[in-house]
Amino acid sequence: MEPLIIAVDDRLANPGDTWSVAGHLDEAGYSLGDHEFSLPSGMDYDVVLTNAGEGILATGLLRAHVVGTCDRCLEDAEFDVAAEVDEYYLFEEPVDVADDEDEADYELVSPDRTIDLSGALLAALVMETPFVVLCREDCAGLCPVCGANLNEVDCGHVAQIAAERERDRMEASPFAALAGLDFSGADEADDEGGAAGGSSTL
């Protein structure tokens, strides 16, 4: 992302002073892991800068329309992002930093009294980007046999695979051997035994 330099001037001279900055960035896209995303309409931001005494607090909102690739069917996946911007720029490096303090929780105001908002905007955008990207929640994905897009066509392979898996599951069951047994003879023997036993008591 291109730098977005903001001068910390007289508008933020005293603690408690605030200054609103808003605009549009014609950013083409960004990456997240193995995913590539495009921003066909760029991004819009609306941020309030506050002199918090020891530094400048930047809070606000970032909006963008994002186009990526569906993880299941590999077609375009589009979604809108409304991300919260939250970054702290210290005037000076802390003298004592606690062992458990995350240094990534703040940036520094540059010696020329400027801050670069691009990192805060990109971080907000990434935080609201889904880890699993889908064109729709019920995306059926691609057929593992022929590669057909199952959102558009039913090639029949998925049903076939499901039937084969069910058959394999049944064959692996400890009760599978009982399926081939014929209990009709045993039932007849029980009936005859019962009848014989009944006549002997008379």
Express each pLDDT in 140-197 by its tens digit. 999 888 889 989 888 877 777 766 666 667 666 665 555 556 656 555 555 555 555 5
15: tokens are: 């603690």
Q: Check: CB of residue 79 under 8 Å from CB of residue 66.
A: yes
Render pLDDT for 46-84 as a digit per residue (tens, 0 to 9): 999 999 999 999 999 999 999 999 999 999 999 999 999
CA pair distance 178, 187, nearest whole angstrom: 16
Exposed e or buried b for every residue in 182-201, given b needs 16+ CB within 10 A?
eeeeeeeeeeeeeeeeeeee
pLDDT at residue 115 tops 70: yes
Residue 165 belongs to what H/E stretch? Answer: helix 157-172
In which region does residue 174 sit, left (phi positive, over 0), alpha (psi from -120 to 50) or beta (all else)?
Answer: alpha
Q: Check: CB of residue 139 under 8 Å from CB of residue 78.
A: no
Q: Check: CB of residue 143 under 8 Å from CB of residue 157.
A: yes
